[in-house]
Every structure is written in C-alpha cells, then in structure tokens.
Amino acid sequence: MSRLRVAASVAAAQLRHDRARTVLAVVGIAVAVLSTTLLASLGYGVFETGQQKFDASGRDLWVTGGSLSKGPGGFGTSILDAHNVSRDIESRERVESAVPMAFQAVYVGNGSGEMQTLVGVGVPGGGPFVSYEKGELPHGDGHYQNGTYNGTMHYDIVIDPRTAEMLDVGVGDTIYVGGSVESAREHEFEVTGISSTFSSFLGAPTVTTYLSELQEVTGTTGTDKATFITVNLKEGANTSAVERELQRAYPDYTIRTNDEQMRSVLRHNAVVIAVGGALVVLAVVAGFALTLNVLSIVVFQQKEELAALTALGVSSKTVVGMVAAQGVLLGAVGGLVGVAVTPPFVAGLNYVAAEIVGFEGLVQAPGSVLVLGGAIALVIGTLAAAVAGWRTLRTVGVDQLMR
C-alpha cells in the first residue's frame, strides 16, 4: 500500500508540475471518450427510436409484399389488390382491423408553381391511428367504390408541420399533389389538418390523404397497390397463432409481428449497422492509440527524472507504477470531462438530426453508455501509461544522466 501511495503522490506532483502537458493528455482522453459515447449513443438511440416507432403504431401484425431488399423503406414489395386483401383479413374472427397503407413519392407544390418531392401517405381514412395537432381527414375512402374508382374525390389532405413550414400553408389553404409534375398541377387538394404521425415514423415531410385518392393521382388504381397492411387483433387473441394462420392464407406475402418487422428493417440496413459498430470499435482503438501517443510523449519528456530514480535504486515496478498512476489520474479526469460534455453534444446532435431527418431523440445517452465511457478512459489511460512506461525503461538508463 505504501508503494501505491508513493506512486500516486509522485504521479500527482508530476502532473501538477507541467500543467500544459497534463491538459493536453486530458483533452486527448476526453476526445476518445466523447467519440465513444456519442457513437454508442447514436447506435442505442437509432435502435430505441425504431422500436418506439413500431410500438407506438399500436399494430400487432404487419403484412408486407415479401423481400425487404426489393421494396422501399424496409417494407418489401407492394401488396396488390390491397383493399380486398385487407377486407378479407379483417373478416377473420380474431382480427379487429386491417388497414392498408401506401407510401409514395409525390410532387407537392403551392401556388408559386415550385414543386417539392415529398412522401405521400395513403390511408383508408383518419381513424384512431392518426393523431392530429389540428383538423382531420373528415371523410372516408369513398373514391374506391368497390374497386371502380368512380366515387367522389374529396381532395382532402393532411400535412405535417415541416411541410406546412416548407410550403408556407396551413389548414384551409390549397396545395397541388401528384405522381408527376403534370399530374400535381391537375390535382388541387385542400389542407384539412396538421399531423406529425407519419412524418415522425418516417423521418421525412409527409402529406396524407385517402388511399384511393393517392392511388388516383399516382396512377396505381389499376393494381390497387399498398406498401403494407397493418393488423390489429382482438383482445386476448394469440398473435403467433394468427400470424401462422395468415401466413398459410397468404403464402406470397410475409406476415410479421412488431418485433419481427423491426428486426427485418434492421437486417435490411445491416451494412449501416455494421458500419456504426465498426465506428464504435474504431473510436475505442483510436482513443487508446491517441492516449498511448500522448502519454508516451509525457513519459519521454520525463526520461531524465525516470533515469535518476532508476539510478537511485528505485525498482522498475515502482517506476512503472508511477507512470501507470499518471495514466489512472489522467484517465479519470479525461473520462469525467468526456462524460460531462456528452449530454450537451447529444442535445446538439439531436437538434441537428431533428432539423435534417425529422427524428427527435435520435441520439440517446443512457447511464450505461456514460459508464462505458468512464471505464474506457480508465482502462486506456492505465494500459497506455504502463506500455509507455515499459517502453521508456527499455531505452532510458543511467547514461541519460550523463547527457
């Protein structure tokens, strides 16, 4: 214990002696910790945000068109004859509702004539799964009219706040929407509500109207396309049993639970996830290398003092212990600094992410991530200092005092 106390006190004195050098080392470790915590927070936040969005949908099962690699947004290829398929699913005893939805790229513009490419969402009607900040979709999907598409076009549309700001429109104003610029100029919709439901799910500006009317303006009425069908089961229904039943009834489609759909989307983006994981590992390795480099410089600048201690008979273990103690102290301080500045950086990144992609809370730093950052600081500080100490002892001897 006395040897440890001596090593710690000498290490603290050496760090106080050269404050600039100490600050440089602390900053290096803090940067390594911050890189690690931010990347880990991003990975954790992306997974949690995705899970929250799927859970918030309130759906029990998702019916998609098949392989995710063949469809946009991680939902697979389109479902054909979507109205009839959803009606058949809803007629089953244990099913409460089956709702077809379509996501389509559409051109949207205001009276200025300039068009923006946004995500058009088609739903059978407003329903309980759409939350409104203002107004609503007041009618149903009447234009479908049993597949004839001869029903009334209500030309109602709901936009999200970002679209409202982008186009400078609100409830009661009109916008133009279509699958092409020419089609958009021919179809004038009245904004009847404001809703963030789908923009928060997709992370993009959206316009939402009735499914059949979206199909009409995008030219998909002939096939009655939908991106997926969400299924809500009656209370007490066995989700797995209904999933198997629907899979047998619709072998050409893929039936998934909320968790399975989430995992499928993650697998679809496996390359992005792998890159994120590699970046976390790279941050840790880079942090260790940076700390080792900084502490090697620190120890090298102390080579005369170390040589003098060796000449006075101080054991190699004690000398290395003093160097390692510097690493522990530097790691502790650098770790505290890195962990302390993580929350402000997380807040800043969340602001940028919300402005760019529309997702709020995309970067999340739970306590476990902060603990990980602190632990990494101590580990890399101690190991880097020990390695630097042994490296210096191998090259510095009593002859250093003669120079």
Domain boundaries defined on the chain: 2-53+270-402, 66-252
Instruction: Give the pLDDT confidence score for residue 130 in this predicted structure.
Output: 78
Chain centroid to CA 11: how far?
Answer: 42
Q: Which residue has the tokens 């002892």?
A: 393
Q: Is 376 helix (H, G, I), strand (E, B) or coil?
A: helix
C-alpha distances in Å from residue 296, one per residue of 7, 29, 299, 321: 18, 13, 5, 15
Mean pLDDT of 329-350: 86
Who has greater pLDDT, 286 or 328? 328
Q: Which residue has the tokens 């600081």?
A: 377
Distance CA 319, CA 397 (A): 12
Mean pLDDT of 144-161: 92
- Least-confidence region, from 1-5, 115-119, 172-176, 323-327: 1-5
Instruction: Give the pLDDT confidence score for residue 20 in this predicted structure.
Output: 72
Q: How confident is the model at residue 254 (pLDDT cuts 50, 70, 90)?
A: confident
DSSP secondary structure of 324-335: HHHHHHHHHHHH
Question: Mind listing the pLDDT tens digit for each residue in 55-95?
Answer: 555 578 889 885 444 444 444 468 999 999 999 999 999 99
Please say if the pLDDT value at position 37 is more than 80. Answer: yes
Task: Return the HEC string of 351-365.
Answer: HHHHHHCCCCCCCCC
- Residue 109: partners with Cβ closer than 8 Å, 6 or more residues away: 115, 116, 167, 175, 176, 184, 185
Distance CA 62, CA 222 (A): 23
Count of C-beta atoms within a 10 Å radius of residue 149: 16
Contacts 24+ apart (CB under 8 A), 363-371: 363/38, 363/41, 363/42, 363/45, 364/41, 364/44, 364/45, 364/48, 364/49, 365/37, 365/40, 365/41, 365/44, 366/44, 369/37, 369/40, 369/41, 369/44, 369/342, 370/37, 370/339, 370/342
Mean pLDDT of 337-344: 90
Mean pLDDT of 231-238: 88
Instruction: Give the pLDDT confidence score for residue 401 in this predicted structure.
Output: 42
256 touches 266 (CB < 8 A): no
Q: How confident is the model at residue 180 (pLDDT cuts 50, 70, 90)?
A: very high
Question: Mind listing the pLDDT tens digit for each residue in 187-231?
Answer: 999 999 999 888 877 778 899 999 999 999 999 999 999 998 989
Distance CA 247, CA 251 (A): 5
Q: How confident is the model at residue 291 (pLDDT cuts 50, 70, 90)?
A: low
Chain centroid to CA 132: how far?
Answer: 25
The mean of the pLDDT values for the chain is 79
Alpha carbons within 13 angstroms on the beta-carbon side of residue 303 total 19
Distance CA 310, CA 392 (A): 12
Instruction: Give the pLDDT confidence score for residue 256 in this predicted structure.
Output: 86
